[in-house]
């Protein structure tokens, strides 16, 4: 991982062409000029919050950036502040116009669910403080939109995100989930229309 600051890290990918930076912090100038909608996807978590930024131009998607915001050990309030500050920095740097994030998954551990909910609430606040609309999707909806299988494994989500965004390598699981959320939003969230993904599907756990 290429470290961007003390709070969050960018995703390093191999270069895909002359003049293109392999660091996620570098924008694609052509994508920035021609894009219709820039979307920030967020995978909220108290320890690690993943983020992914992409541009939707018609039926095409362009990868912009992705990474993880790590929270320090210590009091809950300080950890939530790290999430708020990190996402604010991402929003300021990449200027998305819409935000999409996963809803909280309720499990048998009530305490863990509550902590995750607070991390998610902080992510929502980061978007709202910047005046951005927020769309919410369940993990089932995200996987269905990206992989075509609502019960797909994380490895399948990573592989499909890599394929759809033409990345040089698999993003980290947290960044992949965030990018998948942004892709799900681009498929049809808030009237953005369906993204054409013909020819990309999973069969027996493999991308075909």
DSSP secondary structure string for all residues of 83-114: HHHHHHHHHHHH--SEEEEEPPPP-S-HHHHH
pLDDT at 62 over 80: yes
Residues with catalytic roles: 43, 102, 174
Q: Tell me, what's the pLDDT at 167?
A: 93
If one compares 62 and 11, the residue with the highest pLDDT of the two is 62
Mean pLDDT, rounded, for 185-203:
53
Best CA proximity match to 44, nearest among 98, 116, 113: 116
Average pLDDT, the chain: 78
Q: Cα–Cα distance between 95 and 131 in angstroms, integer?
A: 11
Q: Tell me, what's the pLDDT at 18?
A: 29
What are the structural domains, with CATH classification, of the chain? Answer: 2-207 (3.30.420.10)
pTM more than 0.85: no
pLDDT > 70: percent of the chain: 72
State how beta strands 202-203 and 37-43 pair.
unpaired
């Amino acid at each position: 991982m290429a470290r961007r600051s003390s709070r969050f890290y960018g995703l390093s990918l191999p270069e895909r062409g002359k003049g293109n930076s392999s660091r996620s912090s570098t924008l694609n100038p052509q994508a920035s000029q021609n894009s219709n909608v820039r979307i920030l996807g967020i995978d909220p978590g108290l320890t690690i919050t993943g983020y992914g930024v992409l541009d939707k131009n018609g039926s095409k998607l362009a990868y912009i950036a992705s990474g993880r915001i790590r929270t320090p050990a210590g009091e809950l309030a300080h950890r939530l502040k790290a999430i708020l500050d990190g996402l604010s920095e991402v929003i300021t740097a990449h200027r998305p116009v819409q935000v999409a994030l996963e809803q909280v998954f309720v499990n048998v551990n009530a305490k863990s669910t509550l902590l995750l909910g607070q991390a998610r609430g902080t992510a929502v606040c980061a978007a709202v403080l910047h005046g951005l609309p927020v769309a919410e999707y369940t993990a089932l909806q995200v996987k269905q939109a990206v992989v075509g299988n609502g019960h797909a494994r994380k490895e399948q989500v990573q592989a499909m995100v890599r394929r759809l965004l033409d990345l040089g390598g698999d993003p980290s699981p947290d960044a992949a989930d965030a990018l998948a959320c942004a892709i799900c939003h681009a498929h049809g969230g808030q009237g953005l229309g369906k993204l054409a993904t013909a020819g990309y599907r999973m069969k027996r756990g493999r991308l075909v």
